[in-house]
Structure 1
Amino acid sequence: MTTERIDRNSVGLRSERGPILLAVMLSTGLVALDATILATAVPSVVEDLGGFTQFPWLFSIYLLAQAVSVPIYGKLADLRGRKPMILFGVTLFVIGSVLCGFAWSMPALIAFRLIQGLGAGAIQPIGMTIIGDIYTVAERAKVQGYLASVWGISSFVGPTLGGVFSDYISWRWIFFVNVPLGVAAAIVLRKRFAEKVAEKTKHQIDYAGAVLLAVGGSLLLLGLLEGGVMWAWDSLISIAILSVAVALIVAFALVERRAAEPILPPWVLSRRVLNSANATAFLIGLLMMGLSTYVPVFAQGVLGTSALIAGFALAAMTIGWPISASLSGRIYLRLGFRWTMLLGSAFVVLGSGILLTVSATSGVWQLAAACFVIGVGLGFSSAPAVVAAQSSVDWQHRGVVTGANMFSRSVGSAVGVAAFGAVANGEIAARLGGAHQDIGKLPADVLAPAIHDVFYVAAGAAVLLIVAVAFIPNRIPEKPLAAN
């Protein structure tokens, strides 16, 4: 076990927490804005650089790099401290953004998106870990609401900026806009985050575990993201990628059992509260991917709305999320974690039920209402899960458990891509006699039942969410913010 400690007073002073929170919100804003701003600019990017068949990799390579690096950064944050890791992440993200802005070809842009993803892998989990360090359980859910609001604001600002830059300036500014945000966040973190980590032992970095996790996790997510898209599920390349991924992950598990300071300690998988929180994150990632992918398609292809209206229907989810996330603290302080998360999962089930009633004759408001209710449920479920996981461990393990939670959500998103895509494509193939056709060009009478099948799977995942949160302890004694 590491013997590092952090001076509680160096990060716990109330006068310093405001600037630190602002810096974390600015850092999170980099990742949140990037998640929405690029999609609207893709046509301009392709027109300028070419490579239409390659553009999906702009998103896949970013998600891969971000997901597999999260647990590694989490462990390094526990060993070296939060400040150097989040500053490294912000710096890497800004460098990647500048390079993306100057990209001269689609392959170059994809390579620079990889750099961005590696930076993003440090920003979000370590930012949340810092929040866990400097705020108590009673305060943390309200602060989680602030962070969630960053994502809500970005869901509106991102597409708008992407459209404005693409139409009136240049798509390259969707990357250059990250520079002032990143620089401001880095300056505040350097000046106001006075972290002091005392080391008493020389650490043994788990290089073997890091490599196995990075390669095995990348192959697993690659197989799930691109299976049924770039290649058939039963193709040789798909089987080979997934088989090697499983073998490497098994090897990773064996290495972690013997490592002196493992990247992902085995005890993370043996604690009830962490297993429940990670299962919750997995299902939340899966549900978010299903909604993000298929709600806009249903709005445009079945209800006949514009892309803008379809985006606003989905954005209703990001309005409900920060509202409930900020309120959840008051509830779990009175009722406990389990009951708060059960309330959230009940909202998710209710919203999924409303989603199943949406038909070709429904108004888009009904679709938006379902997304809003689901967003409320996800806020009540996700924020307490992170707080519970962080509160169950002390400072030197908080980065690991936060990273594991974020990684679980990323894997859930990748599984959601695979599962929802297989369900929709299966229904479409059955109705078209096996003929393949672009989903954006399908008639409404084929598209509607295919997406409804996806909504049924999402409803099933919502029920499983109830099961996952039911296992989390209702009360968790808070570990100290630091060892004094």
Structure 2
Amino acid sequence: MSDLKKAAVGAAAVADRPAAKPETPQRSVRVVMLALMITMLLAMLDNLIVGTAMPTIVGDLGGMEHLSWVVTAYTLATAASTPIWGKLGDMYGRKGIFLTSIVIFLAGSVLSGMAQDMGQLIGFRAVQGLGAGGLMVGVMAIIGDLVPPRERGKYQGMMAGVMAIAMIGGPLVGGTITDHLGWRWSFYINLPLGAIALAMVTIVLHLPKRKGAQGKIDYLGAGLLTLGITAIVLVTTWGGTEYDWNSAMIMELIAIGVVSLVGFVFVETKAAEPIIPLRVFRSRNFTLMAVVGFVAGFVMFGAVLFLPLYQQSVQGASATNSGLLLLPMLLAMMAVSLIAGRVTTSTGKYKVFPVIGSVLMVTGLFLLSRMDVDTTRFTSGVYMAVLGAGMGFLMQITMLVAQNSVEMKDMGVASSGATLFRSLGSSFGVAIMGALFTGRVQDEMVARGGGAATAKSAQLDAASLAKLPDAAREAYQFAVSSGTHIAFLVGASVALIALVASVFVKEVPLRGAGPVTKQAEAEAV
């Protein structure tokens, strides 16, 4: 009976593995992973570079009132397209769909660099976001197919290394390009990296070909989801700024958003091939990780957007230096992510990491909300390191637990779902924190700077700020400090939700290779 049990365990373990040739050398898997990580680097670099260049972009094109939309358009398009990319990959094969998303992303990059006004830039950023949705979900789904969750920690070093390049190199590259070549090259820089990604993925990624579509795409569900997301983000962006909260426009958008999302849920229960099968939410861990991922996206993109603004406007840093000053947060994030991945691989334990990460994230955001015009760079660096450590505990674990919470046949759905909620969090975070930041800056400028010294007179870049009279410049610095305070305080409040969700995570054993599983597989053979 004991032998039968061992054989059963081994057979189950083998069944949990993705369909791949067992004799595939480990080196080949690493080459594929390298190609995937270069592609992920392409998507991750973009917002980081643009975030650092944003003050100069606004200074050139104007339109501070639309500041948050430059990032919101990107993240909104990413969120709306992610489920569709995931379903297309499941139906028609991941490789071709993946390459298509890279091409769309590069086309959006070229167009964004050619933008002549803020409206064009926002539109072209949406094209970029459309492609980025396919990049992100494609990488995660392919990794989920190739590597079992328990073995995935072996590749945590590669993933953390690429993220380190993006997080640290992005602001540095963005600042250097902005100061020396102009902000348009912050988009053109994607082209050589994109060409490398296209070549490597084409050559080294070999996946089983699909015989054909197994069903029709749920276009109605996708349309309702896109409409609902767009309406809600418009509410958070326009409410209290473009329109009063009780205005007819805001009320109509709220109604459209609610009706669309309710309709989406209803359609998903009836569709033969739903964009997001609701069965995945029966897993408590998947649902909780979706919540944690949403909050992590909310916080991370808000921090990347507003910390450079604070550093350049209040602490007097150049675009390049503001990128360097983000290093405490980014290095802490990468180091902690690497440690968490290795511990998870060796022990199979992971519940403690979301809890610790959420605590540190709340603490870091609260500390950042305490910054004012007198805060030193060393102090702000310590605060950023605390936030970065918290994010590091959450970066890989959310996707790992989400994928481990569903059956292998739902791997693409789990990957796109987790990516969707993180993208939604990014969109909501930038929109909400951006609206609060802009509103506070304008209020403080009117109160302290007089009618002539409004937010429009200071275009957020160092050159324009230096031309202001001393009184107006001091008023603007105080206004930016006050706007930063309210933005991060709201972020800390939202981060408490992640802490509550993390406490209720159930530690389910990770599928795949571990000491016990390998022994069981050997005995079964």
Partner of 2:470: none
Q: Report if the CA contact (8 A) 1:348-1:462 is conserved.
A: yes
- Residue 263, structure 1, aligned to residue 278, structure 2: no
| Cα shift readout 1:330-372 (whole Å, capped 9, x = no counterpart) | 3334272211222222332443454355454432112111211
For 1:414, give the aligned amino acid. Answer: S
- Residue 403, structure 1, aligned to residue 436, structure 2: no
- Residue 288, structure 1, aligned to residue 321, structure 2: no
Partner of 1:413: 426
Partner of 2:391: 378
Partner of 1:320: 332
Q: Report if the CA contact (8 A) 1:10-1:195 is conserved.
A: no
Residue from 48, 70, 73 that aligns with 1:61: 73
In structure 2, distance between residues paired with 1:421 and 1:55: 8
Name the CA shift for 1:11/1:392 in 2 (closer, same or farther; >3 Å).
farther
Partner of 1:273: 285
- What TM-score do you get using the length of structure 1 for normalisation? 0.85
Q: CA deviation at 1:387?
A: 0.5
Partner of 2:351, secondary structure, is helix
Partner of 1:337, secondary structure, is coil
Partner of 2:522: none
Alignment of 1:461-472 (within 5 A): 461-472=494-505
Residue from 117, 121, 124 that aligns with 2:133: 121
- Residue 340, structure 1, aligned to residue 353, structure 2: yes
Name the CA shift for 1:472/1:320 in 2 (closer, same or farther; >3 Å).
same
Q: Alpha carbon RMSD of aligned pairs, Å?
A: 3.5
Stretch of structure 1 that moved more, 36-45 or 88-97 = 36-45
Q: CA deviation at 1:143?
A: 3.1
Q: Report if the CA contact (8 A) 1:138-1:329 is conserved.
A: no
| Cα shift readout 1:9-63 (whole Å, capped 9, x = no counterpart) | 2896423212211211221122122113334556776788787776764433222
For 1:470, give the aligned amino acid. Answer: V
- Residue 237, structure 1, aligned to residue 249, structure 2: yes
Q: Report if the CA contact (8 A) 1:321-1:379 is conserved.
A: yes
- Residue 363, structure 1, aligned to residue 376, structure 2: yes
Partner of 1:451: 484
Stretch of structure 1 that moved more, 45-54 or 22-31 = 45-54
- Residue 82, structure 1, aligned to residue 82, structure 2: no
In structure 2, distance between residues paired with 1:100 and 1:450: 28
| Cα shift readout 1:198-231 (whole Å, capped 9, x = no counterpart) | 5588313212112222222223223323434444
- Residue 143, structure 1, aligned to residue 155, structure 2: yes
Q: Report if the CA contact (8 A) 1:317-1:371 is conserved.
A: yes
In structure 2, distance between residues paired with 1:81 and 1:384: 26
Contiguous gaps of at least 5 residues in structure 2? 1-16, 461-472, 514-525
For 1:135, give the aligned amino acid. Answer: V
Partner of 2:401: 388
Q: Report if the CA contact (8 A) 2:168-2:330 is conserved.
A: no
Q: CA deviation at 1:285?
A: 1.5
- What TM-score do you get using the length of structure 2 for normalisation? 0.79
Partner of 2:231: 219
Q: Report if the CA contact (8 A) 1:16-1:193 is conserved.
A: no
For 1:243, give the aligned amino acid. Answer: A
For 1:95, give the aligned amino acid. Answer: A
Name the CA shift for 1:316/1:99 in 2 (closer, same or farther; >3 Å).
same
Residue from 493, 506, 520 that aligns with 1:473: 506
Aligned residues: 476
Identity, in percent, stands at: 32
Name the CA shift for 1:86/1:451 in 2 (closer, same or farther; >3 Å).
same
In structure 2, distance between residues paired with 1:361 and 1:163: 24
Partner of 2:10: none
Q: Report if the CA contact (8 A) 2:80-2:226 is conserved.
A: yes
| Cα shift readout 1:265-287 (whole Å, capped 9, x = no counterpart) | 11122220111100101111222
- Rg comparison, structure with higher value: 2
| Cα shift readout 1:411-444 (whole Å, capped 9, x = no counterpart) | 2223323543565567664996699952966455
In structure 1, distance between residues paired with 2:501 and 2:268: 26
For 1:362, give the aligned amino acid. Answer: T
For 1:451, give the aligned amino acid. Answer: T
Name the CA shift for 1:297/1:344 in 2 (closer, same or farther; >3 Å).
same
Contiguous gaps of at least 5 residues in structure 1? none
Q: Report if the CA contact (8 A) 1:209-1:252 is conserved.
A: yes
Stretch of structure 1 that moved more, 125-134 or 91-100 = 91-100
Partner of 1:18: 30
Q: CA deviation at 1:254?
A: 0.6
Q: CA deviation at 1:257?
A: 0.5
Name the CA shift for 1:371/1:427 in 2 (closer, same or farther; >3 Å).
same
Q: Report if the CA contact (8 A) 2:445-2:476 is conserved.
A: no
Stretch of structure 1 that moved more, 238-247 or 450-459 = 450-459
Name the CA shift for 1:138/1:358 in 2 (closer, same or farther; >3 Å).
same
